[in-house]
């Protein structure tokens, strides 16, 4: 269950403080010229220690390709890759070895497997998402050739919410600030909010919005692998995600059908819809309009505060972790959301080749 995708399949491996994190991509078409810089750029966007509002764990996060790429091009054979862990500091975690940290996976992994790698969360650590960022960055390059681009940004931090829709924003400004919100004014408030959480040794949640443009009509596989169902599945598989909505989402439930329906119109570009409450997907298949969605992240569970909990013998104890933490994961999660969206879309791009003969 560590494989994502049906045609373009990523199988991921690795633990937070083991030898490294990596994966195998099987099903990548042959002949794709890989731009390693673009991959490394997304890794840098996800990297710890990239700004004052993220964890200060130091990791170079340099990807090494182990197979499947020859003379710069994919070969149609499995692409294995690894990012070796450097800053292991695994002794830091000895205190937590036998403790079930609140709202972490310590308790559930132990219940499920009868064993766990306690060092920094082991397999349950969000460090695993590096593998997804690498695979997603390759998927993006394939999609770019098909005219599809994906952009995500932070649209809410705690109670601070960006009111504008993606249509009213200049998404190219997303990388202009450390919180990855394309509206600088709101970004400043978000940064302040995250700094406040950091000072309090606490954390704060929020929402990431994703937008895919250029997806042609026809991608998506009813009845179960509707494009948005696969997208939701992908997003809900990211650590700390609690919700997903696309198009009109939860707000749309309040509308009547006559308000919600998107009227087809003829334009110079062909058939379009007047509004886009459908979020670019109808009956589970893309209709050519922009695909947009929201992903809800809880405030992450790792606090640098005293908390009451139980140890593995079910004895009550107090924990008070020291060191580094991420007061808000959202800025670093932006490339992860993009990567997962890219993995979903590249899979449907390939699946769509099979509809007709």
Smallest CA-to-CA distance from 61 within 87, 35, 79 is with 87
Q: Examine residue 33 and tell whether it contacts a second copy (CB under 8 A).
A: no
Closest to 329 (Cα-Cα) out of 289, 296, 353: 296
Q: At closest approach, how far in Å is the CB of 120 from a second copy?
A: 12
By CB under 8 A, what part of segment 292-331 binds a second copy?
Answer: 294, 296-303, 305, 307-310, 314-316
Closer CB to a second copy, residue 170 or residue 227? Answer: 227
Q: Which of 77, 59, 67 is nearest to 130 (CA)?
A: 59
Measured CA to CA, the distance from residue 330 to residue 46 in angstroms comes to: 10
Q: Does residue 2 belong to the site contacting a second copy (CB under 8 A)?
A: yes
Q: Which of residues 230, 321, 331, 339 is near a second copy by CB under 8 A?
A: 230
Report the nearest approach of a second copy to the CB of residue 49 (Å).
Answer: 20
Q: Look up residue 28 and give its two tokens.
A: 């990548």
Known binder of ligand: residue 239?
yes
Question: Could you say which of 39, 96, 105, 169 contacts a second copy (CB under 8 A)?
Answer: 105
**Cα 245 to Cα 103, 132, 258, 308, distances in angstroms:** 23, 21, 21, 34
**Terminus-to-terminus CA distance in the chain, angstroms?**
32
The H or E element that residue 267 is part of is strand 264-267
Helix or strand run (H / E) with residue 78: none
| 140: contact with a second copy by CB under 8 A | no
Residue 283 marked ligand-binding: yes
State the nearest-atom distance from the C-beta of 172 to a second copy, in Å. 25
- Cβ 281 to a second copy, closest distance in Å? 8
CB 167 within 8 A of CB 148: no
Nearest distance in Å: CB 290, a second copy: 15
| Residue of 91, 115, 163, 172 interacting with a second copy (CB under 8 A) | 115
The residue among 306, 293, 319 whose CA lies nearest residue 151 is 293
Structure tokens at 155: 């649209």
The residue from 32, 148, 179, 344 that contacts a second copy (CB under 8 A) is 32
The region of 34-42, 46-54, 170-178, 216-224 touching a second copy under the rule CB under 8 A is 216-224
CB of 50 to a second copy, least distance (A): 21
Q: Is 12 annotated as a binding residue?
A: no
Q: Which is nearer to a second copy, 109 or 182 (CB)?
A: 109
CB 27 within 8 A of CB 5: yes
* Binding piece for a second copy, criterion CB under 8 A, among 44-52, 79-87, 163-171, 174-182: 79-87
Task: Please choose, out of 34-42, 49-57, 171-179, 247-255, the segment that lies near a second copy by the rule CB under 8 A.
Answer: 247-255
If binding is defined by CB under 8 A, does position 146 make contact with a second copy?
yes
Residue among 185 and 250 whose Cβ is closer to a second copy: 250
Q: What are phi and psi of 318, to 5 degrees?
A: -105, 135
* Contact by Cβ (8 Å): 88, 47: no
By the 8 A CB rule, do 243 and 338 touch?
no
Tokens of 96: 């937590």
- Residues making up the binding site for NADP(+): 46, 52
- Residues making up the binding site: 46, 52, 123-125, 239-240, 283, 298-302, 324
């Amino acid at each position: 269950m560590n494989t994502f995708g049906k045609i373009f399949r990523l199988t991921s491996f690795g633990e937070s403080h083991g030898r490294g994190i990596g994966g195998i991509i099987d099903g990548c078409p042959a002949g794709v010229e890989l731009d390693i810089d673009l991959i490394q750029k997304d890794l840098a966007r996800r990297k710890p220690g990239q700004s004052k509002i993220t964890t200060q764990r130091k990791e170079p996060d340099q990807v090494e390709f182990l197979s499947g790429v020859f003379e710069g091009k994919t070969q149609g054979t499995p692409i294995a890759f690894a990012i070796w862990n450097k800053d292991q500091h695994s002794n830091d975690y000895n205190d937590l070895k036998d403790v079930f940290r609140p709202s972490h996976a310590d308790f559930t992994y132990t219940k499920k497997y009868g064993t766990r790698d306690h060092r920094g969360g082991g397999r349950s650590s969000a460090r695993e998402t590096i593998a997804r960022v690498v695979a997603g960055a390759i998927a993006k390059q394939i999609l770019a050739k098909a005219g599809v681009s994906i952009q995500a940004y932070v649209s809410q931090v705690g109670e601070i919410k960006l009111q504008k829709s993606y249509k009213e924003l200049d998404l190219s400004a997303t990388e202009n600030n450390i919180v990855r919100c394309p509206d600088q004014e709101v970004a400043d408030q978000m940064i302040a909010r995250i700094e406040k959480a950091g000072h309090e040794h606490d954390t704060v949640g929020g929402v990431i919005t994703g937008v895919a443009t250029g997806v042609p009509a026809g991608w998506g596989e009813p009845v179960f692998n509707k494009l948005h169902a696969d997208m939701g599945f992908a997003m809900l598989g990211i650590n700390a995600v609690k919700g997903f909505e696309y198009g009109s989402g939860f707000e749309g439930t309040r509308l009547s059908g006559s308000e919600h329906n998107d009227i087809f119109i003829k334009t110079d570009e062909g058939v379009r819809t007047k509004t886009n409450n459908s979020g670019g997907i109808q009956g589970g298949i893309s209709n050519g309009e922009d695909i947009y969605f929201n992903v809800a992240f809880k405030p992450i569970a790792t606090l640098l505060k005293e908390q009451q909990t139980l140890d593995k013998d079910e004895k009550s104890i107090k924990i008070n972790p020291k060191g580094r933490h991420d007061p808000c994961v959202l800025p670093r999660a932006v490339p992860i959301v993009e990567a997962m969206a890219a993995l979903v879309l590249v899979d449907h791009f390939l699946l769509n080749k099979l509809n007709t003969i």
